[in-house]
Amino acid sequence: MRHSYRAAVLAAACTMLTACAGLPQQMDQVADNLRQLGQSVSSPLVPSGPSAFSQSGLANVFKGTDPASKWPRVALTIDNMPADAQNNWFEWRAAPVPAASVAVAPANYCITISAVVWKSEKSSQRFDHIPYCGRDAKVRDITDDYTFTLLGWAQMPKNGGKNTGASRTFGPNPPLKSFPSRSIIIDTANSRASFMFAHLLMSMGLDLTVDYLHENRLWVVSTVQ
């Protein structure tokens, strides 16, 4: 019995030593996996194929267009947001990003939108329930200045040209104000919802920094929050 017990102890010790011998390599692999996970959250994730947003016709719909022409126009609804959309987006700032102030939404963090795009007063196309996700967003520093620009665009009346006043319709004419009066997107300037909406406009090619006081080619008809 003594010999069999000693043999069992020696066998267990050998097993432990063998496992420990491989432990550094295992820990290195874990560290590599964590680094890759951190990079997938903090830097743009290259998708394996075109996303629903990039294929929808909404991506860059304003790119290369003249704001003075007032076309195209987009009437937008925000159909769905994540449960934590009201939370602050600052924690998305992560060390692996070269510029510490740049934040990137997780690749699978999505809002869902629908839109009617007007190419002219009589020509329109509808897009229903399109997800816009972190992987669709272009990396850009969202500063306090841009946040104030977004709020100014959302709340300032646009008196130039025809409008529907307080009525929020799907077009072709915009309402007096580009955004509904209450939403976490404009009520909570640093919310994740606001962050995603700002990137959505950029991904559609709409640059509010040009003339946000008169930019009325896009408006939000309604939003879930």
Q: Report percent pLDDT > 90 for the chain.
A: 54
Domain ranges of the chain: 2-42, 52-223
Distance (Å, whole) CA 116 – CA 132:
16
pLDDT band at 145 (very low <50, low <70, confident <90, very high): confident
Position 47 confidence tier, pLDDT thresholds 50, 70, 90: very low
If one compares 97 and 149, the residue with the highest pLDDT of the two is 149
Give the residue-averaged pLDDT of 24-42: 38
The pLDDT score that the predictor gives to residue 4 is 46
pLDDT score of 55: 93
If one counts every other C-beta atom within 10 angstroms of the C-beta of residue 119, the result is: 13
- Reduced to 3 states, what is the DSSP secondary structure of residue 54? helix
Report residue 85 CA to chain centroid gap: 11
Mode of pairing for the β-strands spanning 73-80 and 218-223 = parallel
Q: Is 167 helix (H, G, I), strand (E, B) or coil?
A: coil
- For residue 8, the model assigns a pLDDT of 45
Residue 83: HSE in the Cβ half-sphere, 13 Å Cα cutoff = 0
- Sorted by sequence, the CB contacts under 8 Å of residue 186 that are 6+ apart come out as 150, 151, 154, 155, 179, 194
CB 140 within 8 A of CB 49: no
Per-residue pLDDT band for 141 (boundaries 50, 70, 90) equals low
CA gap 171, 74 in Å, rounded: 8
pLDDT band at 144 (very low <50, low <70, confident <90, very high): low
Rounded Cα distance between 131 and 54, Å, is 10
* Section 76-103 average pLDDT: 78
pLDDT at position 54, please?
93
**Cα–Cα distance, 139 to 23 (Å, whole number):** 38
Q: Is the pLDDT of residue 114 over 90?
A: yes
**Average pLDDT over all residues of the chain:** 79
Q: How much of the chain exceeds pLDDT 70, in percent?
A: 72
| Across 44-53, 63-72, 194-203, least confident range | 44-53
- Which residue is listed with tokens 């896009």? 218
Average pLDDT, integer, range 39-46: 38
pLDDT at residue 101, rounded to an integer: 52
pLDDT tens for 17-30 read 444 444 434 433 43
Neighbours of 13 (CB within 10 A): 10
Average pLDDT over residues 68-82: 96
